[in-house]
Chains A and B, each alone.
Chain A
Amino acid sequence: MTDKKHDHHDQDHPVTSVKELFKIPARIDKAAPHIVLIIVIFVFLVLFLTCFYTVQPEEVGVLQRFGRYIDTAGPGLHFKLPLGIDHLKKVKIQRIYKEEFGFRTVKSGVRSEFEPERKIDEALMLTGDLNSVVVEWIVQYKIKDPVKYLFNIRNPKKTIRDLSESVMREVVGDRAVDEVLTIGRMEIETEVQKHLQEIFNYYDMGVEIITVKLQNVTPPDPVKPSFNDVNEAKQDKERLINEAWKEYNTVIPLADGEKKKMIQFAEGYAIERTNEAKGNTARFLKLFNEYRKARQITRKRLYLEEMQKVLKKVKRIFIIDKNARSILPFIQLGDKVHEGGEGK
């Protein structure tokens, strides 16, 4: 009888045990193995996921196993050991980093905004002629060797900043303030970049400088007006000279014109005079030719003709006897006259 019972039970067990596994049991101690299993599965899943990592196109993955550097991984999906055995550091190798000196960009865009307070401490420096100048500049760099960058220098950003300030001051300190403000800018940029890169290479930083660019370079505020005044003075000088030349170029051509006029007047006068002479003499000579042919009669004729003309015009004619010594009472031939003369 008991055998039968046993058989009955045995038959039941395989079926119920599976059910039991996935049924939520009533008692905790019966539930324990299920919970543990779920936890274990969960943990393994998480661990599995941490075995993979992706590297973006602009990045590089630096892998350390138990702290020791073992590999640099390019872009893509890669495998690593979990549980902190393998540690991944991602480095943006294509990105251009920028350090600003003497100013800070608050918001960059089409029209960038800057912090109103210039960083005077960073910007004020001495020049070779022992003057002061305010220099703003930027340094742009790229991480060239991620392994060196991560493992050679502790604080690359601070190092880059300190060295940039030092080198810029060195280069500016070798130049006169005028050079720094005007003609020397490009030379300064080139030299600072060269110098700085040399130092970076000496430290083996794995950093490559893309560019060093000067921004605003100005005299310090207290002396700005005087510097501006020099520019104004230069302009004043130009202006004075231009004014003088302007006057010159107005007056002289005028004078030349006057001169021409004067000469032409004289020439006109000359022609007038000679033509007059020629005309008068021609008339005379013609007359003379005729006169030569009959002198006496021509003379008489000319004389009488003239007298005719003349006497017609005159209003008062006095005829005096040839023997008269002074003015005597006489016969008036014209208007009444009131004065009498004293006479014989």
Chain B
Amino acid sequence: MKIGLSCLLILIVCVLVAVMSCVFVVDQTEMAVRTQFGQPIGEAIKQPGLYFKVPLIQEIHYFDRRIMEWDGSPTEIPTKDKKFIWVDVTARWRIQDPLKFLQSVKDETGAHGRLDDIVDAAARDTVTKNTLIDVVRDSNRKLQFTEGIEDLTRESDEDFKKSDVGRSQITASIIETARKLMPEYGIELIDVKITRINYVESVQKKVYARMISERNRMAEKYRSEGEGEKARILGQLEKEKKRIYSEAYKKSQEIKGEAEAESTRIYAQAYNSDPEFYAFMKTLETYEETISPDTTLFLTTDSELLQLLDSSRITR
């Protein structure tokens, strides 16, 4: 019985090994093609599950049925307006017909090589036929400039002619061109996208220089606006100042003048009642004011004051 147990076990193992060489699993993420002596047999297997094969004679080739990435290496491409740019393109693709795929490119490495040629060429073709602005911009959406420099930037510049094409159309045209060659490889090209565009070193330097001078002009503008406004305000200041002072002067003179007139009128009115008496009083006042201890007085005997000193007078 003991011998029987171990024999049974060995038998089970052998059966398992035999079975395993007769079946294969196709994963949810895979497709398979069955070949016999290098020749494909039957249809491609696209549904996942467990399948049978003839051991040793039949070989199974697996292919990924998911969407896969292709990444081209960046290439230097000149645009129609002779701007040299680095363009990096990626694509999403899928194996549509595993049989054709196996027969044409054999595997993914082969596919990548094909994609390199086709998609890069399509990209190059399309980019050289378009201007830089067409490659960069997507729509004719009006650009907003916050520094109020729309007039400063280059409306007249050749670069900025309204883009009729736009990035989406460019990528669409790349896909279209590339797609034409795909079916013979059993490949479905799902999309192509431009992942990066950058200026070539020499052009980048020029762009930086232009950006710097643009900003410098803006800074200039702000500063001179400031100066201008300042001058205007100070001018206004001067004007106001002069106005205030001159008004003050005018008003005070008016007031003084009127006062003078009034007091003159009062005096005149009063003194006119007896001008002679006024003269008399005023003269007396003058004597008081003007005759000081230093004054030397010459009096004649005619003077009313001294009439008594004239002897001829006394005897009268």
A interface residues with partner B (beta carbon < 8 Å): 32-33, 36-37, 40, 64, 66-69, 121, 124-132, 150-155, 158-159, 162-163, 165-166, 169-171, 173-179, 182-184, 199, 203, 219-220, 222-223, 226-227, 229-230, 232-234, 236-241, 243-245, 247-248, 251-252, 255-256, 258-260, 262-263, 265-267, 269-271, 273-274, 276-278, 280-281, 284-285, 287-288, 291, 299, 302-304, 306-307, 309-311, 313-322, 324
Contacts and interface: CB of A to CB of B under 8 A. Distances in A.
B262 to A, nearest CB: 5
A303 B277 CA distance: 12
Given A124-B198, A154-B64, A313-B293, A252 B212 contact: no
Contacts of A314: 291-293, 295-297
Contact of A233 (B67, B223, B262): B223
B31 to A, nearest CB: 11
Contacts of A267: 255
Interface residues of B, number: 121
B295 A319 contact: no
Interface of B: 2, 5-6, 9, 25-30, 47-50, 64, 66-69, 71, 90, 92, 132-133, 136-139, 141, 143-147, 153, 159-160, 167-168, 190-191, 193-199, 204, 207-208, 210-212, 215-216, 218-223, 225-227, 229-231, 233-234, 236-237, 240-241, 244-245, 247-249, 251-253, 255-256, 258-260, 262-264, 266-267, 269-271, 273-274, 277-278, 280-281, 284, 287-288, 291-302, 304-306, 309-310
A302 B71 contact: no
Contact of B195 (A169, A203, A322): A169
Given A162-B90, A230-B147, A299 B280 contact: yes
A179 B248 contact: no
A266 B251 contact: yes
Contacts of A281: 266-267, 269-271
A244 B236 CA distance: 10
A237 B225 contact: yes
A179 B167 CA distance: 19
Contacts, number: 333
Interface centre among A125, A304, A322 (most CB of B within 10 A): A322
A203 B233 CA distance: 64
User: Which 7 A-B pairs rank lowest in CB-CB distance, beginning with the nearest?
Assistant: A237-B226, A270-B259, A266-B252, A277-B263, A281-B270, A259-B248, A233-B219
A178 B147 contact: yes
A4 B48 CA distance: 70
Interface centre among A128, A260, A280, A319 (most CB of B within 10 A): A128
B290 to A, nearest CB: 9
Nearest to B167: A170
B133 A130 contact: yes
A176 B218 CA distance: 15
Contacts of A241: 226, 229-230, 233
A222 B208 CA distance: 7
Q: Interface on chain A toward B: helix, strand, loop, or mixed SS?
A: helix
B253 A315 contact: no
Given A183-B146, A237-B223, A314-B297, 7 more contacts: A33-B2, A67-B26, A126-B198, A131-B211, A169-B196, A248-B234, A317-B296
Contact of A219 (B211, B245, B248): B211
Contact of B277 (A288, A304, A322): A288
Nearest to A204: B67
Contacts of B147: 178, 230
Contacts of A317: 296-299
B9 A40 contact: yes
A90 B59 CA distance: 31
A67 B50 contact: yes
A150 B297 CA distance: 137
A318 B309 CA distance: 13
Given A33-B5, A67-B27, A311-B297, A173 B167 contact: yes
B81 to A, nearest CB: 11
Contact of A169 (B50, B146, B197): B197
A203 B295 CA distance: 126
Contacts of A159: 67, 69, 92
B296 A169 contact: no
Contacts of A320: 298-301
A303 B284 contact: yes
Contacts of B221: 233
B195 A162 contact: yes
Given A226-B215, A233-B223, A319-B306, A129 B153 contact: yes
A183 B144 contact: yes
Given A64-B27, A128-B143, A274 B259 contact: yes
Nearest to B16: A83
B215 A174 contact: no
A59 B248 CA distance: 88
A255 B236 CA distance: 14
